[in-house]
Amino acid sequence: MNKVERAIIMAAGMGSRMRPVTDVTPKPLVEVNGKIMIEDIIEKLERNDIKEIYVVVGYKKEQFGYLGDKYESVEIIENKFYDVANNISSLYVAKDYVENSVILDGDQIITNEKILSKDFEKSGYYATWESEPTNEWILEVDEKDDILSCSREGGDRGWRLYSVSKWNSCEGQKLREYVSKEFEENNRDIYWDDVPMIIHLDKFDVSIIRMNSEDVIEIDTLEELCQIDSSYSKFLGEK
């Protein structure tokens, strides 16, 4: 059994699909039903005894400074490339911490904090089965749940990838190596997940970690935010 020793929370993006809310507030710091999203994640990590937490910031970075004061477990890492590169840049600046880690986005709601537990069997991504056509990233797996392929364009059915993943020491070393390789060779217009899931999938031993669809809520757009917290409906007319 592997154990998570640390967490990397991606929080550098501009959240453009949630404007105008994110014109003022970085997406991970948006309050949803009375709770700031990234704070809720930090507190659930701490309750799972994960107390080495790296928050990668970029857009409106100064607004995240208080987290290091409020939570002893939090260290802020600045991504200076956030506005000129995709999110591979965020993992690149945090590459020294990927071994024995859980990597997740700071702009989602973890409704089942058990998925943030320290124990895990194999490196991989949390996923849910989708029986209807979807535009989300879809994974093909074998009978052992090992990942065989990934489609960024979605598909008619398959395992939907969520932005919560766990990495043991061996696979974490590979992740650091190949993320560094792609970034330093100027392949910067990609998601970091492209590295282990598409570009170098054959180099990784990764599987899906099954969960229920209600365990994680990913909020990508203003419309999705309004569905969860109706107080933001007033912004719909400002788009």
Spell out the alpha helix ranges (H) of 152-214.
Answer: 169-184, 194
At residue 239, the pLDDT reads 53
Give 2-233's CATH code, choosing from 3.40.50.2000, 3.40.190.10, 3.90.550.10, 3.40.50.620.
3.90.550.10
At residue 41, the pLDDT reads 98
At residue 105, the pLDDT reads 96
| All structural domains of the chain with their residue ranges | 2-233
Mean pLDDT, rounded, for 117-133: 95
Total-model pTM? 0.94
Residue 131, pLDDT above cutoff 80 = yes
At residue 18, the pLDDT reads 87
The predicted-structure confidence for 137-190, as pLDDT tens digits, reads as follows 999 999 999 999 999 998 888 999 999 999 999 999 999 999 999 999 999 999
At residue 238, the pLDDT reads 58
What integer best gives the mean pLDDT of the chain? 95
